[in-house]
Structure 1
Amino acid sequence: MPMLVAFQIEWNKLHDLLDDPRLADALATADVDALPLTREVGLKLQTIWGERCGARLRAVAQHKKRFGLRMLGGSLIDYERATLRWWLNVEEHLPNIVFRQRPIYFVSSNTHSLINLFSGFALQNRSELVAYLHAQQHSGLINEYEKILAEEVPSSLENFLYYVQKKYQADPASADYFARRAAVEHQLGLHRVPSRFYVDVDTQVFELNKLDPQRLDPRIVMPGVERLGESAALVVNIDYPLGLAAYHILKLVARSVREIRGAYIIGKAATLNGKIGDVLIPNVVYDEHTDNIYNFVPAFSAADIAPYLAHGSVLDNQKAMTSRGTFLQNAAYLDALYRDFFTDVEMEAGPYLNAIYEQTIAERYPTSEHISLLRPPYDLGFLHYASDTPYSKGMNLGARNLSYFGMDPTYATSLAAARRIVAQEIYRMERGV
């Protein structure tokens, strides 16, 4: 949808510029210098369209775009049915795990950081990853690696290796490496469940009692970590959804397991008072879907993130706003938010909180209410890392990919969640609860 909306907006902007009979000759010859376009835009269009540039410019000049879309199933029942089939796929993929008998920690993040922290495979195979860099002559990354070893930069060696591993995956020569990784993950009870057909959200399930303390990322090792072998808990980690999918997923997962012991939501956000790479920790969320405002005590504080964040800042006690979509936010709207001290704009906290409300109160979530979740049914925390700064023109992921430095906030937030889970389970095992 965002791509179609963007396409229509840009097409119609060009149409308004080119819909002029006086430009007929320039359009016929594809003379972009004679058109009311900046030289930069004209050169980009010539580069993208090549020989077809003239024909496409004439098509743009002739008519406006107005797309019409038909949804394939749009009722509440359709969404719930799709979510149910998504979860049944997880259960069928892991027949030896009886979810209704196991407590879980629910994490909404990505499909690479947590599993890397728990498996430690990249750290165990450091020499192979460094050899890959030299073989491919990645001079920039080799230089960064040498600076990390010499302690000339604050970057983390572990994060660096995770990044290299991700690049290595695109190399056909890495097939054996990733086959070995899959075998080790299976041995450690780290399961990947790809999405099939229904909700486009991949899932990972981690069995805490199968983890090897010797393989864990050293930053999540703490006194008593060996007690994880006594834990029956699972970590259910999903590739973070957007919007109402978050509500349906958490609601269904809560009904399908013995209990949820913690919910930790990690994802990207736009910041109105920070910079790209900062981490935002909200304790207030305004949900645009329901007009609800939620207050809660977050499981995380700046002290949980700061030791692992090398290149950004941690902003806690933030007020977040869950948006229906990025195209609905204009400058005036963002300015109104900022005047009300809302500084964190994202797309899933509200739906997750609506699902948690229904696990706390014996009724459906309300609308247009101020809701206190100061005593939620389980440990709860949101961690957002800034990928967009709407107040700074062009400073967003479209213009500046987080790339290598994006590993810094991604792993700082994932480490906080992993450490929270490990600490909670050690506490339970030591006290027999």
Structure 2
Amino acid sequence: LAAFIAIASDIDDLIPILTAYEIEWNKINDLLERTGAMDRLSQYSERGAALTSAERDGLAKDLHISLSDFVTLENIWGAALVSNLLVIGAGRKHFALRLLAGSLVDYHKATQRWWNNIAQHANHLIGNRPVYFVSSNPHSLVNLVSGYALEHERELIDYIAEIQHQDLQHEYQAIQAEEVKSSKENFLYYVLKKYCADPENATAGREKEHRETQVGIAYIKSDRYLDVDAQVIELNKLIPERLDPRLSREGMERLRKSDAVIFNIDYPLGLAAYQILSEVTQNVDQIKGIYSMGKAATLNGRIGDVIIPNVVYDEHSQNTYLFNNAFTARDIAPYLVYGSVLDNQKAISVKGTFLQNRRFMELFYREGYTDIEMEAGPYLSAIYEISYPRRYPVNEIVRLYQADLDAGFLHYATDTPYSKGKNLGAVHPSYYGMDPTYATALAILQRILKRETSM
């Protein structure tokens, strides 16, 4: 098995993940041998029928887990549950790793070749034009400006009826009857993703791409080096009538005169954020704004909340960055239905999520840090180098208040590490993650449009 790493901090994630995997594998192996469960698993495998309630209870006790945790495991593995347990019980794991290449020069080369692929496909779009750099995901901004989902509401609703997705049907009916506060737009964006992923709707997928091209959206798939796709959105090609209705249309006629583009990337992890932003700023003439939205763990909020930091401690550089965040709570609140907005927060950019334990988190919390994520610190190190004629310092308090650059960081809480097992996947269906995701995307897009239409 080989894995391509984009930056040194990927190792900080990979090693703990493999270590945890090996520990859990060997724990299960010991339990299956000690309890004699292997003989019963062999019988279940030969029988081929589904497990009975009593058999589920017995295996859960053998593995020292609750029945609900066993059911979760069964849902993940499906029909392969018994065969997977037999494989684990057959032998212990002991991983060995070898790093084939990992010098600083190697990482720089990978990032440079990633950009060369961007330039090859989109240099005619970016050229000498002003750029708004956005680190988000491949779907939010596109859905907000293309209008495809909203124009095809009937087809999307017919689709969930056709596949008999009762939860989504009930949610749509509740939205239409105004029985819930959920956004219809967010709902349609969620269904659109499922709709386009269905192989039977390949024609609709091609039509969607054509419609997106009409409003100035170009996709650039990553080519081997970094697994980070990109999009270029030409602001002067946006069609006001197709924009998400929650966006202000004020001054949209001025947008026709804008020469600016949005360069949106599928947010990278850890130090790759520094590498990519540094590479982009070296290859474009003017950066008009830098905005990042992404997932975080919260120590004082709830899943679905939006966190806005203005202090970030970066574990990579050991710097504490103080800066003016372009966003405040009032920029997010109009779009956020279920969560709360926590602004003026202190964030910590960690090297890897697996490296954080309860003792670390308690230390962070006592120091006032409530937001744990992985990208803000590396991005701020790059912003420092954009603003000053020297490399970012190490182990200092860095004040970026004078930086002549519009920069904003928005994090939405998907994990509450103080609460065991509480994350977005465990607590809510993925649909409810749309609320903070689109609230932050709307705030970023609204700020860009306002800056371009007020000039």
Q: Could you say whether these structures have the same fold, taking a TM-score greater than 0.5 normalized by the shorter chain as the test?
A: yes
Mapped pair 1:347 → 2:374: yes
2:111 aligned residue: 83
Mapped pair 1:279 → 2:293: no
C-alpha offsets along residues 100-149 of structure 1, whole Å, 9 cap, x if unaligned? x1110000000000011111111111121122122222222122112212
- Describe how 1:47-126 pairs up with structure 2 within 5 A: 48-51=80-83, 53-54=85-86, 56-60=88-92, 65-99=93-127, 101-126=128-153
What's the CA shift for 1:94? Answer: 2.2
CA distance 1:39–1:243, change in 2 (3 Å) = closer
Counterpart pick for 2:444 among 417, 421, 424: 417
Q: Structure 1: how far apart are the matches of 2:425 and 2:95?
A: 23
What's the CA shift for 1:51? Answer: 4.9
- C-alpha contact (below 8 Å) 1:387/1:402 kept by paired residues: no
2:23 aligned residue: 9
Aligned residues, how many?
Answer: 420
SS at match of 1:57: helix
What's the CA shift for 1:55? Answer: 5.8
1:331 aligned residue: 358
C-alpha offsets along residues 399-423 of structure 1, whole Å, 9 cap, x if unaligned? 3465111000000000000000000
What TM-score, normalized to structure 2?
A: 0.87
CA distance 1:349–1:98, change in 2 (3 Å) = closer
Q: Structure 2: how far apart are the matches of 1:98 and 1:48?
A: 48
Amino acid at match of 1:56: I
CA distance 1:402–1:337, change in 2 (3 Å) = farther
What's the CA shift for 1:178? Answer: 1.5
Q: Structure 1: how far apart are the matches of 2:431 and 2:162?
A: 19
CA distance 1:54–1:222, change in 2 (3 Å) = closer
Q: Which range moved further: 130-139 or 278-287?
A: 130-139
- Describe how 1:27-426 pairs up with structure 2 within 5 A: 35=62, 37-38=64-65, 40=67, 48-51=80-83, 53-54=85-86, 56-60=88-92, 65-99=93-127, 101-397=128-424, 399-400=426-427, 403-426=430-453
What's the CA shift for 1:3? Answer: 4.3
Q: Structure 2: how far apart are the matches of 1:224 and 1:217?
A: 16
Aligned-residue identity in percent: 53
Q: Structure 1: how far apart are the matches of 2:314 and 2:429?
A: 27
Segments of structure 2 that go 5 or more residues without pairing to the other structure are: 1-13, 43-57
- C-alpha contact (below 8 Å) 1:123/1:158 kept by paired residues: yes
Amino acid at match of 2:116: L
CA distance 1:140–1:96, change in 2 (3 Å) = same
SS at match of 1:192: strand
Q: Which range moved further: 136-145 or 351-360?
A: 136-145
What's the CA shift for 1:76? Answer: 1.2
- C-alpha contact (below 8 Å) 2:41/2:82 kept by paired residues: no
Q: Structure 1: how far apart are the matches of 2:242 and 2:126?
A: 26
Amino acid at match of 2:345: Q
CA distance 1:54–1:142, change in 2 (3 Å) = closer
C-alpha offsets along residues 35-92 of structure 1, whole Å, 9 cap, x if unaligned? 57347477858975525645632423xxxx4422223421111111111111111111
Q: Structure 1: how far apart are the matches of 2:137 and 2:121?
A: 19
What's the CA shift for 1:396? Answer: 1.6
- C-alpha contact (below 8 Å) 1:29/1:54 kept by paired residues: no
SS at match of 1:94: helix
CA distance 1:134–1:402, change in 2 (3 Å) = closer
- C-alpha contact (below 8 Å) 1:28/1:54 kept by paired residues: no
CA distance 1:24–1:169, change in 2 (3 Å) = closer
What's the CA shift for 1:6? Answer: 2.9
SS at match of 1:284: strand
Q: Structure 2: how far apart are the matches of 1:150 and 1:26?
A: 52
Amino acid at match of 1:59: G
